Amino acid sequence: MMATRTGEIRTGDTAFAEWSVWSTTARLVVTNPRSLPAARTLVCEHLIAVDRACSRFRADSEISRLAAHGGGSFPVSELCAEYLRAALTVAAQTDGDVDPTVGAALVELGYDRDWELIAGSDTGASVPLTITRRADWTQVMLDERIVTMPAGFQLDLGATAKAVAADRCARLVTERLGCGVLVSLGGDIATAGPAPVSGWQILVQDDPGEPACQVRLPAGAALATSSTLRRRWWRGGLAVHHIVDPRTGAAAETCWRTVTVAAETCLTANAASTASIVRGRDALGKLRRSGLPARLVDRTGRVVTVGAWPTEPEGRSI
């Protein structure tokens, strides 16, 4: 699940590096090319620490050890507590539409190991849909660094951890090295420090052939995309994806193929984009009330924009 190195490239007043991490692509861009090696080291070190604390695919991670304890109260590291606190905060803010206790549901759906090991495979018999009241995030208590939760819980921080990591890494690079930076972890993008003269240029497109939009992010802005097109697999001959509706334990209905949201932090953007996938058509009203710029692509490919998201396909600032 950890990184394999690729090249580092300098172009004009910026430099960037890309590598594989967490079954996705990490991209790091800095406004001072000389800072790139040190910035990459800072980002990689933090991502390694997050993986050790929060990966449910590692038997030795803190999240896995919590699940193995069978309920009760247990201490965790400061880093694990920070990431769990962010997940619980998002759960509260989204009324449980983004819930970190869906780990067991994801395992039931077949997402029980690293994505690279299940991509393109059929993970077993189909799972019957059952709609029952289930344990949820409100039963997980975090007091400083002490986590208390019932037996049978399996946490999954995948819905928020990449966003928190992008925010943390961007701030870390700017604070330590003083340059502008963009950190992208899959669809989660955070920036910090000064932007390039032309702003941060972002192509919003989930896959080749999908509707595309080029936007300019100002300094310090963030962007997150949640998608039902990626991380799809087969379960008993049925296609499922990784965004779970916490109320049913099943993959959320795919009203939206992708949702992209801009905000001041990647965590805020990611919470809104993920919750929108779960909410379906109800997402539009909530996004409008939030004031966040958003772009939604429905199952037919029709694009719907909300708030200040530019209606032109290219080059507009958010």
Q: Each residue of 54-78: pLDDT tens digit?
A: 998 888 999 999 988 878 999 999 9
- Write the DSSP string, 49-83: HHHHHH-TT-TTSHHHHHHHHTSEEEE--HHHHHH
**In-domain check, residue 292:** yes
Query: Is residue 298 included in any domain, yes or no?
Result: yes
Q: Is 84 contained in some domain?
A: yes
Residue numbers of the domain that contains 93: 8-317
Percentage of the chain lying above the pLDDT 70 cut? 78
**Which pLDDT does position 244 carry in this prediction?**
78
Mean pLDDT over 44-61 rounds to: 94
Q: What distance in Å separates the CA atoms of residue 250 and residue 109, rounded to the nearest whole number? A: 7
Number of domains in the chain: 1
Instruction: Write the CATH number for 251.
Output: 3.10.520.10
Closest alpha carbon to 23 in 1, 6, 55, 4: 1
Question: In which band, very low, low, confident or very high, does the pLDDT at 230 lie, cut at 50, 70 and 90?
Answer: low
More confident site: 95 or 206: 95
Is residue 161 included in any domain, yes or no? yes
Q: What is the pLDDT of residue 126?
A: 47
* 3-17, 48-62, 68-82, 152-166, range with the lowest pLDDT: 3-17
Q: Residue 1 falls within a domain, yes or no?
A: no
Write the burial class of residue 144 (CB in 10 Å: 0-12 exposed, 13-18 middle, 19+ buried).
exposed
User: Could you tell me the pLDDT band of residue 134, with boundaries at 50, 70 and 90?
Assistant: low
**Full-model pTM:** 0.84
